[in-house]
Amino acid sequence: MQYDRKMKIGLFVPCYVDALYPEVGVATYKLLRSLGVGVEYPESQTCCGQPMGNAGFQNMADNLAQKYDELFSTYEYVVAPSASCAAYVRFFHPHILNHECAAAKKTLDLVEFLHDVLKVDHLPSKFPHKVSLHNSCHGVRELGLSSPSERNVPRFNKIRDLLNLVEGITILEPERVDECCGFGGMFSVEEPAVSTRMGTEKLKRHMATGAEYITGPDSSCLMHMQGIAKKQNLPIKFIHVAEILSAGL
Amino acid sequence: MSTKHSIAAEKFLQNGERVTRHDQTFWSVRTKRDTLAYELDEWENLREAADKIKKHTVTHLADYLEQFEQNATRNGGIVHWAKDAEEYNQIVLKILRQHEVKKVVKSKSMLTEECHLNDHLFKQGIDVVETDLGERILQLMELAPSHIVMPAIHITREQVAECFRQKGIIAEHGTHAAEGILPTGEDPNQSSDPTFLTRAARYHLRDNFMTAECGMTGANFGIAETGDIVVCTNEGNADMSTSVPKLHIVSMGIEKLIPNYEAMGVFQRLLARHGTGQATTVYTSHFRGPRPGGEMHIILVDNGRSSILGNEEHWQTLKCMRCGACMNTCPVYRRTGGYSYTYFIPGPIGINLGMLKNADENYHNLSACSLCCSCDNVCPVKVDLSTQIYRWRQNLDGMHHADAMKKAMSKGMKVIFEHPNLYTSSLKFAPLVNAMPKCLTGIKLNGWTYGHEMPVFAKKSFHEIWKKQLRSESV
C-alpha cells in the first residue's frame, strides 16, 4: 500500500492525553509516521474547550476555538487520538465562533483518518491478547465510528475493522455494546453516584467478555473506568486503540 | 457541587438491587424496541417522515387547529380552547357541573397531570378515578407517575398487594378474583399473584365504570382533516371510560395534532414500537363525535405551548408524542428513577420540558445527562434532546443558576489553556500532584474521588516528549 508521502497532517493531542497519557500521543505519532504521513505538532496547542462547554461555559471556550482554528487551518487534515475531542471541534467550534471553521471541518479522530482517508488495509503490528472494545458515545453517535445500536442501519465498526488488521488479537464486545460508561466530563463530578454506578456496570460487562484489556478511541472513557477499577481493585487493564495499532513499531 | 437531581439520585442509588431492577426493566423495553426497529427496513424512513410531518404541523399549527375545530364541530363535538391550566380546569369543572357529575372515570392523560386537574376536582367534591391500572395504583398510593408510559413500573407486586389490601379492594373483590387463579386454600389476603391482583383491579374498576357520569380521555393524536381523536391504550380503559357514561371529555395539548390519516399511518407504526416495544397498542380507539344522546367535549390546551413554538432553540420539543423511549434508553434515568427529577416528566424530554415550564425550579435536572446522545437516536420524531440540554447548560450562568464551583473550574481552565506557557509549565509540575497525600486530593468536595482513584500524571507530558525527542525526528 502506498500512501501520499507529501501529505502533512497537524497532530492534536488533547490536554488530558498530553498530561496523563502521553504514550497515546507517541503511539499516534509513530503509527502515522510508519504509514508515511508527515506529522506536525503545533506546540502552542492546549485544549479544545469541551470541558467548559459541557459544564455550561462554552463562552469561555471562544478563544480556544479561535486559537485552534488559527493553529490548524493550514493542514490538509488534523488528527486527534480522541473521538470526543475531535467531535467537539468539528461540531461545536463553528457554533461557538458563529462561522465555518477551516480547521474544524478537517479535524478527524485517528480511527476515522486511518479508516476513511488512508484506508489502511494492513498493519505490521502484533497484539496477542483478548481485548474488549469500548464504543464511546461521541465516537459512535457523533463521528459514526460504528453503527449506533439504536438505529436500523447496516452494522459496521471502523475500530473493529482496524483492530482486525493486528496479528494475534481477539476482539470482544460487551453486552449493551454502546451504552454510556458514565464519564461525561463534569457529569462525573456533579453526579458522582450515577457516574460511578454506570462505570462499574460498564466495567463488569467488559470484564464478562473475558478480555485482558479494555480498549477504545477515547482516553477519557478509559480514564474514568480505570479510576473506578483501581478503587475497586478490579483486575482489568486499559489501552488506547492507537497503542494496539502501533504495537511493535 | 450538587443539584436536587444528584442528591436524590445518590439516595436512589443506595438501594443497589432496586437500581438493577429499574435499569433492567427499562433496558428490556429498549431491547424490545430495537428488535422491532431492526425488523422494519423502512424504520429510519419512518422516523424521517414523522419528523417532517411534526415539523410541518407545528409550524402550521393555527391552520390545522382551525381545520380540526371545524371538522370536530361538524361531527357533533363541542370544542373548547384553554390558554392555560387554570382555564382548562375551569372548563372541565363547568362541563361537569352542567351535567351534575359526581364521579369521573379517566384514562391516562399526562396533560391532566400537567394541569393538576385531579386535585382541582377533588377540592370541588368531584371524585376522579384513574382507570389505567398503573395510574390507579399510584392514585391509591397517593404517588405521582415516575414514567410517562409505565407510570407505576417502579412499584413491586408485593407493594400493590399491600395497597389493595389497605384500600379494601381485596376484601371486596378478593374471593371473586381468586376463583380459578389462586390454588384452593390460598388466602387472597396473602397473595401477590399478578393475575389475581389484576383481576381484583378489574372488578374494582368495573364498578367505577358503571357508576361514573363522565369519562375523560387524553388524546394521542388529533386528526385535523377529520376532526377525530385517537387514543392508544393496552387495557381498553379509554373505551370502557367512554362506553358507559354518556359524557366524554377529551383533553388534548395543541401539539398533538397531525394533518390526516396518511400521517396517522406513520405514527401508528412508531408509537407503540418506541413506547413499549409492541408492534401496536392492544387498543387504538378512534373517536368521531358523541355517542347517540351524549356529548363529546374536546378541550384544546395551550398552557405554554405556543410560547415554546416561538422559542428558536427549543421549539422542536413540540414534536414529542410522549412515547417515553428517551427515558427507556437514558442511562441516567434508568439508574435514578423518575422521582429524582423535579419535573413530573423525567428523562431527556422531561429535562427540556421542565426548563420550558419553569427554569428556576427545574434547572436542577440539567445535571442528569452525560451527553451520550442515545436519546437523539431513539426519538421517533428526531428531537435533538441532548443538544438542547447542552444549550440549556449554556444559559444557566445568565439565569444566575450556574454552579459556582463548575464556573470557577471553567475559569481556571480558561486561564491555563489560553496561555500555552502557563499550560506547559503546569504540565511540568503536574506530576507533583501524584505525590500529594490522599487526604488532600480525595477531599469530599472533589466528586471524582467518590468512586474513582485519582489519575496519575505522566512524568513527561507529550509536549515535553515532543520537544526533547520527536520534534527532531519529524523533520
CA dihedral over A32, A34, A37, A39, signed as positive or negative: positive
Share of chain A above pLDDT 90, in %: 96
Q: A56 in contact with B at a CB cutoff of 8 Å?
A: yes
ipTM of model over 0.90? yes
Q: What pLDDT, on the 0 to 100 scale, is given for residue B445?
A: 53
Q: Is the pLDDT of residue B440 over 70?
A: no
Cβ contact B413:A45 at 8 Å: no
Grid cell, residue A200, equals 462499574
Q: What pLDDT, on the 0 to 100 scale, is given for residue B185?
A: 85
Task: Tally DSSP H helices, then E strands, for chain A.
Answer: 13, 8
For residues B380 and B431, state if they share a domain: no
Q: What pLDDT, on the 0 to 100 scale, is given for residue A104?
A: 97
Task: Tally DSSP H helices, then E strands, for chain B.
Answer: 25, 10
- Beta-bridge mates of residue A40: A10
Q: Is the pLDDT of residue A245 over 60?
A: yes
Which of A192-196, B91-95, B425-429 has the weakest average pLDDT?
B425-429
Burial B133-161 (b: 16+ CB within 10 A, else e): bbbbbbbbbeeebbbbbbbbbbbeeeebb
By residue range, what is the domain housing residue B297? 53-155+213-301
- Beta-bridge mates of residue A80: A109
For residues B23 and B60, state if they share a domain: no
DSSP strand pairing (A130-133 vs A107-109): unpaired
Q: What pLDDT, on the 0 to 100 scale, is given for residue B308?
A: 97
Closest by CA position to B438, among listed B426, B457, B453, B458 = B453
Residues A221 and A24: their CA atoms lie apart, in Å, by 14
Q: What is the mean pLDDT of residues B260-269?
A: 98
Residues A66 and A96: their CA atoms lie apart, in Å, by 9
| DSSP symbols for B231-268 | EEESS-HHHHHHHSSSEEEEEEEGGGEES-HHHHHHHH
Distance (Å) of CA B38 to CA A152, B28, B330:
5, 15, 20
For residues B67 and B130, state if they share a domain: yes
∠ CA B218-B219-B220, nearest 5°, is 125
Q: A88 in contact with B at a CB cutoff of 8 Å?
A: no
Q: Going by C-beta distance under 8 Å and a sequence separation of 6 or more, which residues neighbour residue B69?
A: B79, B227, B300
CA dihedral over B445, B448, B450, B453, signed as positive or negative: negative
Q: Is the pLDDT of residue B87 over 60?
A: yes
Grid cell, residue A66, equals 479561535
Residues A192 and B135: their CA atoms lie apart, in Å, by 32
- Write out pLDDT tens, residues A192-227: 999 999 999 999 999 999 999 999 999 999 999 999
Neighbouring CB atoms inside 10 A of B65's CB total 19
Q: Show residues of chain B in contact with A197, CB under 8 Å.
A: 13, 19, 335
Q: Which of B346, B364, B395 is the last residue of a domain?
A: B395
- Beta-bridge mates of residue B215: B105, B248
Q: Please give, rounded to a whole number of angstroms, the shortest distance from the CA of B333 to a CA of chain A.
A: 10
Q: A5 in contact with B at a CB cutoff of 8 Å?
A: no
Q: A71 in contact with B at a CB cutoff of 8 Å?
A: no
For residues B288 and B361, state if they share a domain: no
- Write out pLDDT tens, residues A135-167: 999 999 999 999 999 999 999 999 999 999 999
Q: Could you tell me if residue B42 is inside a domain? A: no
Q: Going by C-beta distance under 8 Å and a sequence separation of 6 or more, which residues neighbour residue B332?
A: A191, A194, A198, B9, B368, B369, B370
Residue of A nearest to B47 (CA): A151
Q: What is the mean pLDDT of residues B204-227?
A: 97
Residues B457 and B473: their CA atoms lie apart, in Å, by 25
Q: What pLDDT, on the 0 to 100 scale, is given for residue B289?
A: 96
Q: Give contacts of A 94-153 with B, CB under 8 A.
A: 137-138, 141-142, 148-153
pLDDT class of B222 with cuts at 50, 70, 90: very high
Beta-carbon separation of A179 and B367 below 8 A: no
Residue of A nearest to B45 (CA): A152
Backbone angles phi, psi at B153, to 5 degrees: -70, -15
For residues B454 and B366, state if they share a domain: no
> In the block, which residue shows the cell 472494545?
A133
Q: Is the pLDDT of residue B443 over 70?
A: no
Q: Could you tell me if residue B271 is inside a domain? A: yes
For residues B231 and B352, state if they share a domain: no
> In the block, which residue shows the cell 428523562?
B347
Q: What is the mean pLDDT of chain A?
A: 95
Residues B372 and B394: their CA atoms lie apart, in Å, by 17
Q: Show residues of chain A in contact with B387, CB under 8 Å.
A: none
Structural domain count, chain B: 3
Q: Is the pLDDT of residue B306 over 60?
A: yes
Q: Show residues of chain B in contact with A56, CB under 8 Å.
A: 366, 393-397, 402, 406, 410
Q: Going by C-beta distance under 8 Å and a sequence separation of 6 or more, which residues neighbour residue B412?
A: none
Residue of B nearest to A47 (CA): B417
pLDDT class of A249 with cuts at 50, 70, 90: confident
Q: What is the mean pLDDT of chain B?
A: 95
Q: What pLDDT, on the 0 to 100 scale, is given for residue B435?
A: 77
Q: What pLDDT, on the 0 to 100 scale, is given for residue B243?
A: 94
Beta-carbon separation of A54 and B420 below 8 A: no
Q: Could you tell me if residue B336 is inside a domain? A: yes
**In chain A, ranges of CATH 3.40.50 domains:** 8-117, 130-245
Strand, helix or coil at B12? helix
Q: Can you give the length of chain B in residues?
A: 475
Q: At B86, which CATH number?
A: 3.40.50.10420
Q: In what helix (H) or strand (E) does residue B161 lie, and over which residues does it extend?
A: helix B157-166
For residues B350 and B297, state if they share a domain: no
Q: Could you tell me if residue B312 is inside a domain? A: no
Beta-carbon separation of B453 and A194 below 8 A: no
Q: Please give, rounded to a whole number of angstroms, the shortest distance from the CA of A95 to a CA of chain B.
A: 11
Three-state SS letters, B315-352: HHHHHCCCCCHHHHHCHHHHHHCHHHCCCCCCHHHHHH
pLDDT class of B439 with cuts at 50, 70, 90: low
How would you class B315 by CB atoms within 10 Å of its CB: exposed for 0-12, middle for 13-18, buried for 19 or more?
A: middle
Q: Could you tell me if residue B186 is inside a domain? A: no
Q: Is the pLDDT of residue A6 over 90?
A: no
The stretches of A73-215 forming alpha helices (DSSP H) are: 83-97, 102-105, 110-112, 137-138, 158-163, 187-190, 192-207
Q: What pLDDT, on the 0 to 100 scale, is given for residue B127?
A: 98
Share of chain A above pLDDT 70, in %: 98
For residues B111 and B242, state if they share a domain: yes
Q: Show residues of chain B in contact with A60, CB under 8 Å.
A: 410-411, 413-414
Q: Please give, rounded to a whole number of angstroms, the shortest distance from the CA of A41 to a CA of chain B.
A: 8
Q: What pLDDT, on the 0 to 100 scale, is given for residue A2?
A: 52
Grid cell, residue A18, equals 498530553
CATH of A8-117, one of 3.40.1010, 1.10.3470, 3.90.75, 3.40.50: 3.40.50
Closest by CA position to B335, among listed B344, B347, B345 = B347
Q: Which fold has domain A130-245?
A: Rossmann fold (3.40.50)
How many CA atoms lie within 13 Å of B278's alpha carbon, on the beta-carbon side? 14
Q: What is the mean pLDDT of residues A232-247?
A: 97
Grid cell, residue B437, equals 497525600
For residues B291 and B350, state if they share a domain: no
Cβ contact B213:B247 at 8 Å: yes
Cβ contact A97:A65 at 8 Å: yes
> Strands, E, within chain A: which ranges?
8-11, 38-40, 77-80, 107-109, 130-133, 170-172, 213-216, 237-240
Cβ contact A71:A93 at 8 Å: no
Grid cell, residue B475, equals 523533520
- Write out pLDDT tens, residues B318-375: 999 999 999 999 999 999 999 999 999 999 999 999 999 999 999 999 999 999 999 9
For residues B24 and B102, state if they share a domain: no
Q: Could you tell me if residue B198 is inside a domain? A: no
pLDDT class of B184 with cuts at 50, 70, 90: confident
- Write out pLDDT tens, residues B24-53: 999 999 999 999 999 999 999 999 999 999
Sheet holding A237-240, edge to edge: A170-172, A130-133, A213-216, A237-240
Q: Could you tell me if residue B204 is inside a domain? A: no
